[in-house]
Amino acid sequence: MLTDRLRRWVRLPDVVLTGLLAVFVAARVFICVRGNVFTSFDTFSYAHRGDPAFDRGALLSLTGHAPRLWGVPLFYAIFPSDGARAVGQWAVGTVAWALLAWALWSCLRTLVARVVAGPAVLVVALLPQVANWDFAILSESLSISLGVLTLALMLLWARTASVWYLAGATAAAVWWTFTRTDIRVFVVFLVLALAVAAWRRPARRRHALVAAGTLVLATIWCTAITPVVDRTYTGWSATPEVRHEEGLMLFRLRLHVLPDAEVKAIFQREFGMPSCPGMEEIAAGPAWETAKFAAAYEQCPEFKSWGERNAADVWQRYAQAEPGVFARQTREVVRLSVAGSDYAKTERVVPAVVEKVVFPPRSLVLKVLGGALLLMAAALVFVVRRRPDLALTGAVVAVASGVSLLAGIWFGAGEYWRFGIQEAIGLRLAVLIAVVAVVDALLVARRDRARSAAQNAPKVVVQTTSGAP
């Protein structure tokens, strides 16, 4: 009797999940204690430094009159120091990843699939390519954690129909929208997913449409203030004398045009780009030297005049004039974007072989991730009827990550391995969701076949020695 009572009180799946979460939190605490805070030039546009040379005005504005969208500066304003900000980011990330592990665990029907999904999610969160961002005083930590939190709450809403989960997901997504301008791509796909949910499930229609409408308003708000933010940021940039469009062009010239002889020749031949020895000398070296590069640009009047005339559309004309060369460069940028990176140095608590599987070396990342995405597509086709909720989730995360990645490359330039980290993690999560959905669907089908066979099996009647059944 005591054993039966214990079995009712202590269920094996719950014990396994609790143990996994306990180990995960312990590992995250170890990382937090041993982590080092990282700051860069961009940090002072998110949080005041206490130095007049860097504190150039208000950092928080709901109308765009600040160098960044308000999502990250608002969070940083709560804390008195960078160390406290890092711990705050660590806490948000720990909760978000643990909640995603629990959400996937709850959505799956078999213990085997759960035991695959739960540890896999938690291991990803412990990798240095993910965990290090919690200690970087930049936007990446919140842009990752709030995306994970939104995904977790949406999965829980899909499973339970609880309006509280949907409200939490909506609030997290609104905050997420204002961490980085490119997050709007994810939010648009989230709105589409909510529209599909409203169409397929009439009982949830009203709540889903309210959430979708809220996110549409947030996206409009973000889009409306982004040009103001871009203009304001000029005062915080390394090249305040250069307007936003010219600054983007200078980054592209430094990274993609002048160091590449073929592309440089195209720009000179097709678009009349003049020469500038000072810029070309810097571009030939390994260091970016952004401020010196901009100063050299200012000291070449002919080149500056060309830049002012062509900054707005020369990149588009280059893509149209030389699509093959442009595709080659884009492929390289995609490779850099999805490879991952660690800015803040954190303790490694996951075996190196696991780290290399999830984040392969840059030389292999496109082949490995491309193959994984092809398998993911096949897996989603297989499970779309069996697990439409997980199939839709995996597809939305994958497509949104891909579109956002390409949009970020098209509209920006710079530290691609940093700027594309949300998308790099999103693609890996999409593959994970597809894999566990297939495992779960196969095991459920096998279990159902076994039950059906047992029910249809002929009953054997054992007769007694007297002949009676």
Asked which of 57-61, 267-271, 291-295, 421-425 is least confident by mean pLDDT, the reply is: 291-295
Confidence of residue 1 (pLDDT cuts 50, 70, 90): very low
Pick from 53-62, 144-153, 162-171, 233-242: least confident: 233-242
- Report the percent of the chain where pLDDT is more than 90: 75
Please answer whether residues 345 and 313 qualify as being in contact, where contact means their C-beta atoms are separated by less than 8 angstroms: no
Each residue's pLDDT tens digit, 198-208: 998 999 999 99
Q: Contact at 8 Å (CB) between 342 and 129?
A: yes
Distance CA 100, CA 87 (A): 20
Q: Collect contacts of 451-459 with beta carbons under 8 A, ≥24 apart.
A: none
pLDDT band, residue 221 (cuts 50/70/90): very high
Spatial separation of the C-alpha atoms in residues 162 and 166, rounded to whole Å: 7
| pLDDT score of 345 more than 80 | yes
Q: Quote the pLDDT of residue 275.
A: 93
pLDDT at 180: 95
Q: What is the mean pLDDT of the chain?
A: 91
Which residues touch 231 (CB under 8 Å, ≥6 apart)? 244
Provide the 10 A C-beta neighbour count for residue 245. 15
Nearest partner of 72 among 145, 151, 138, judged by Cα = 138
Q: For residue 209, is pLDDT > 90?
A: yes
**pLDDT tens digits, 143-182:** 999 999 999 999 999 999 999 999 999 999 999 999 999 9
Locate 245 and state its tokens: 């469009």
Taking 90 as the threshold, does the pLDDT of residue 72 lie above it? yes
- The DSSP call for residue 276 is -
- Conformation bin of residue 457: beta by default, left when phi > 0, alpha when psi is -120 to 50: beta
**64-68, 88-92, 140-144, 445-449: the lowest-pLDDT one:** 445-449
Comparing 3 with 272, which gets the higher pLDDT? 272
Mean pLDDT of 374-388: 89
Q: What is the average per-residue pLDDT within 264-277?
A: 94
Residue type at position 315: W
Which residues, 6 or more positions from 108, have their beta carbon under 8 angstroms from its beta carbon? Answer: 114, 117, 436, 440
What's the DSSP call for residue 234?
G
Residue with tokens 């007694």: 464
pLDDT tens sequence across 38-51:
999 899 999 999 88
CA distance linking residue 266 with residue 276, whole number of Å: 16
* DSSP secondary structure, 19-70, as one string: HHHHHHHHHHHHHHHH---B--GGGGGTS--S-TTT--S----TTS-SSS-T
User: What pLDDT was estimated at residue 237?
Assistant: 81
With bands split at pLDDT 50, 70 and 90, how would you rate the model's confidence at 297?
very high
Q: Which two tokens stand for residue 187?
A: 């939010």
133-147, 294-308, 446-460: which has the minimum mean pLDDT?
446-460
Residue type for position 389 = D
- pLDDT for 96: 98
Q: What is the pLDDT, as a whole number, of residue 261?
A: 93
Q: pLDDT band at 2, cuts 50/70/90?
A: very low
- Portion of the chain with pLDDT greater than 70, in percent: 94
Residue 382's pLDDT is 87
Residues, the chain: 469
